[in-house]
Structures are given as C-alpha cells and as structure tokens.
C-alpha cells in the first residue's frame, strides 16, 4: 500500500490551482500586480500588454501543471495499492497550494524582485502575508495528510 501517487497528484493539482488563484485574482481581477510588473510597469498600453503576454505564459504553465496532476490522479485511481482518502487528497491539495505560494513568493517577490503582491507598495507586508498564508496552507494540509493515513485502509476495502 502506498499513498504517494495520490499525494503527488494532488500536490500538482493544488499547485496548479493555487497558481490560477494568484493569476486570476491578483493579476486580472484585482490587478495588484502582473508577472513582470516590477521590471516593466503596466502603466502604459505597451507595458500592460507585455505583462499580459507573460501572465498568459504563467497561466499556460499552471494549466499544464494541473493537467499533469489530473493525469497522475487518473493513473493513481486505477491502482489497487493506492488507498482512496478524502483527507489525504484535500490535504495534499492544500500542501501543493501552500508550497506554490512559498516557492513563488520567495523566488519572485523576495529573491528576484520581478513582482510584488501590491506592486505600487513594492515589497511590503502583503508579500510577507502571502508567504505566511502559504505556510498556514502547508501546515493545515500536512496535518490532513497525516490524519488521512488511518482511514486509507477502509477506503481501499470499499474500493475493491
């Protein structure tokens, strides 16, 4: 018995969907920042369009990641040695989302300074809140994954 394929698939889906939340909510609806907004300010039509193209590349990658996760989930579903647990699945989704926020926040917001959560404030408390939110998601997700290790065997019995 191994939960690893289910956990890995859900992490990929969670990270992909976390990327979509970032892109759709912050880049498009709230327009707080764009992919390269610290380097190319979106305050002219050309600057905005350049950032829109890079936002599109970002969404394309998060789409690929989600699709890869769905494929991995499909393969996991076909295996009899993978226990089917909602807590493991939802926990791993949160782990993926949290890991994405932490990695993306550290690299893009802090190390490389390509954009910040609220671009007009440059690096601000919101960038640290973004990291903290990612850490909270990671902790809650890991707790759920841990709790799910007990209900796995029952789920497999029901599946078979």
Partner 1 sequence: MRLRKIVTPIAVLLPASGRVVACTLCHTDLAREVRASVFGDDFWQNTGILVLPILLVAAIALFIQDGGKRK
Task: Return the closest-CA partner of residue 98 out of 26, 17, 35, 27.
Answer: 17
Least Å from the CB of residue 62 to partner 1: 7
Provide the binding-site residues for partner 1, judged by CB under 8 A.
2, 4-5, 7-9, 11-12, 15, 19, 35-36, 40, 45-46, 49-50, 53-54, 57-58, 61-62, 65, 68-69, 72, 96, 99-100, 103-104, 107-108, 112, 114
The SS3 call for residue 10 is helix
Least Å from the CB of residue 152 to partner 1: 16
Least Å from the CB of residue 95 to partner 1: 9
Considering beta carbons, is residue 11 or 94 the nearer one to partner 1? 11
Considering beta carbons, is residue 146 or 157 the nearer one to partner 1? 146
Least Å from the CB of residue 154 to partner 1: 23
Cα distances from 104 to residues 16, 40, 41, in angstroms, run: 12, 19, 20
Distance in angstroms (rounded) separating the CA atoms of residues 138 and 141: 5
Distance in angstroms (rounded) separating the CA atoms of residues 69 and 75: 10
Considering beta carbons, is residue 61 or 125 the nearer one to partner 1? 61
> Any long-range contacts for 20-23 (C-beta under 8 Å, 24+ apart)?
20/59, 20/62, 20/63, 20/66, 21/97, 22/100, 22/101, 22/104, 23/55, 23/58, 23/59, 23/62
What's the DSSP call for residue 121? G
Least Å from the CB of residue 107 to partner 1: 5
Considering beta carbons, is residue 21 or 157 the nearer one to partner 1? 21
Considering beta carbons, is residue 47 or 151 the nearer one to partner 1? 47
């Amino acid at each position: 018995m191994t939960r690893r394929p289910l956990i890995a698939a859900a992490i990929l889906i969670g990270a992909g969907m976390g990327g979509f939340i970032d892109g759709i909510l912050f880049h498009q609806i709230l327009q707080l920042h764009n992919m390269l907004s610290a380097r190319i300010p979106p305050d002219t039509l050309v600057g905005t369009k350049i950032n829109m193209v890079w936002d599109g590349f970002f969404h394309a990658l998060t789409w690929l990641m989600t699709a890869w996760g769905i494929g991995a989930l499909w393969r996991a579903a076909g295996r009899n040695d993978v226990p089917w647990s909602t807590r493991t699945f939802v926990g791993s989704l949160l782990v993926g989302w949290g890991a994405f926020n932490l990695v993306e926040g550290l690299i893009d917001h802090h190390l490389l300074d390509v954009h910040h959560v609220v671009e007009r404030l440059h690096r601000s408390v919101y960038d640290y809140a973004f990291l903290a939110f990612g850490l909270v998601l990671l902790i809650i997700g890991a707790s759920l994954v841990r709790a799910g290790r007990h209900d796995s065997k029952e789920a497999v019995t029901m599946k078979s």
